Protein backbone atom coordinates (compact mmCIF):
# COMPACT_ATOMS: atom_id res chain seq x y z
CA UNK A 1 0.00 0.00 0.00
CA UNK A 2 2.81 2.42 0.88
CA UNK A 3 4.58 2.14 -2.51
CA UNK A 4 1.34 3.03 -4.29
CA UNK A 5 0.86 6.13 -2.15
CA UNK A 6 4.46 7.23 -2.74
CA UNK A 7 4.13 6.74 -6.51
CA UNK A 8 0.94 8.80 -6.64
CA UNK A 9 2.51 11.48 -4.42
CA UNK A 10 5.56 11.77 -6.70
CA UNK A 11 3.28 11.97 -9.76
CA UNK A 12 1.34 14.80 -8.12
CA UNK A 13 4.60 16.67 -7.38
CA UNK A 14 5.70 16.17 -11.01
CA UNK A 15 2.44 17.65 -12.31
CA UNK A 16 2.69 20.52 -9.80
CA UNK A 17 6.22 21.25 -10.98
CA UNK A 18 5.03 21.31 -14.56
CA UNK A 19 2.22 23.69 -13.58
CA UNK A 20 4.60 26.01 -11.77
CA UNK A 21 6.88 26.04 -14.83
CA UNK A 22 3.90 27.09 -16.95
CA UNK A 23 3.02 29.79 -14.42
CA UNK A 24 6.57 31.17 -14.42
CA UNK A 25 6.71 30.99 -18.20
CA UNK A 26 3.56 33.08 -18.54
CA UNK A 27 4.48 35.48 -15.72
CA UNK A 28 8.11 36.06 -16.72
CA UNK A 29 7.50 35.91 -20.47
CA UNK A 30 10.89 34.36 -21.14
CA UNK A 31 11.60 30.71 -21.97
CA UNK A 32 14.98 30.89 -20.28
CA UNK A 33 13.79 32.37 -17.02
CA UNK A 34 15.72 30.80 -14.14
CA UNK A 35 12.51 29.89 -12.33
CA UNK A 36 11.04 28.17 -15.39
CA UNK A 37 14.25 26.26 -16.03
CA UNK A 38 14.49 25.24 -12.36
CA UNK A 39 10.89 23.96 -12.31
CA UNK A 40 11.39 21.98 -15.52
CA UNK A 41 14.70 20.58 -14.26
CA UNK A 42 12.98 19.46 -11.07
CA UNK A 43 10.25 17.76 -13.12
CA UNK A 44 12.78 15.90 -15.25
CA UNK A 45 14.77 14.84 -12.19
CA UNK A 46 11.66 13.59 -10.40
CA UNK A 47 10.51 11.71 -13.50
CA UNK A 48 13.86 9.95 -13.87
CA UNK A 49 13.97 9.19 -10.13
CA UNK A 50 10.45 7.74 -10.24
CA UNK A 51 11.30 5.58 -13.25
CA UNK A 52 14.45 4.25 -11.57
CA UNK A 53 12.56 3.66 -8.31
CA UNK A 54 9.90 1.67 -10.18
CA UNK A 55 12.56 -0.46 -11.86
CA UNK A 56 14.35 -1.04 -8.54
CA UNK A 57 11.09 -1.81 -6.73
CA UNK A 58 10.18 -4.36 -9.37
CA UNK A 59 13.65 -5.93 -9.30
CA UNK A 60 13.62 -6.23 -5.50
CA UNK A 61 10.08 -7.61 -5.40
CA UNK A 62 8.40 -4.64 -3.70
CA UNK A 63 6.26 -4.05 -6.76
CA UNK A 64 4.56 -6.83 -8.68
CA UNK A 65 2.59 -6.62 -11.90
CA UNK A 66 -1.02 -7.62 -11.43
CA UNK A 67 -2.05 -8.38 -14.99
CA UNK A 68 -2.99 -11.79 -16.30
CA UNK A 69 -0.76 -14.55 -15.02
CA UNK A 70 0.64 -17.05 -17.50
CA UNK A 71 -1.61 -20.07 -17.59
CA UNK A 72 -4.50 -18.29 -15.90
CA UNK A 73 -7.84 -18.63 -17.64
CA UNK A 74 -8.62 -15.61 -19.71
CA UNK A 75 -11.97 -13.94 -20.21
CA UNK A 76 -14.44 -15.98 -22.24
CA UNK A 77 -14.15 -15.25 -25.91
CA UNK A 78 -17.04 -14.15 -28.06
CA UNK A 79 -17.36 -17.21 -30.25
CA UNK A 80 -20.16 -17.81 -32.68
CA UNK A 81 -22.20 -20.90 -31.75
CA UNK A 82 -22.34 -23.66 -34.38
CA UNK A 83 -25.22 -23.66 -36.82
CA UNK A 84 -27.91 -26.04 -35.45
CA UNK A 85 -28.82 -27.47 -38.91
What local confidence, expressed as pLDDT, does residue 78 receive?
63
What local confidence, expressed as pLDDT, does residue 70 receive?
66
Each residue's pLDDT tens digit, 17-63: 999 999 999 998 877 889 999 999 999 999 999 999 999 989 998 88
Q: What is the mean pLDDT of residues 3-25?
A: 93
* Domain residue extents for the chain: 2-60
Cα dihedral across residues 47, 49, 50, 52: positive or negative: positive
Q: What is the mean pLDDT of residues 60-82?
A: 70
CB 45 within 8 A of CB 14: no
Question: Would you place residue 76 in the very low, low, confident or very high pLDDT band (cuts 50, 70, 90)?
Answer: low
Amino acid sequence: MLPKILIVLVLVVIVASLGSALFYLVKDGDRRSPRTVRALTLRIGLSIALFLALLLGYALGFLRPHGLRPGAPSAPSQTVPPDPR
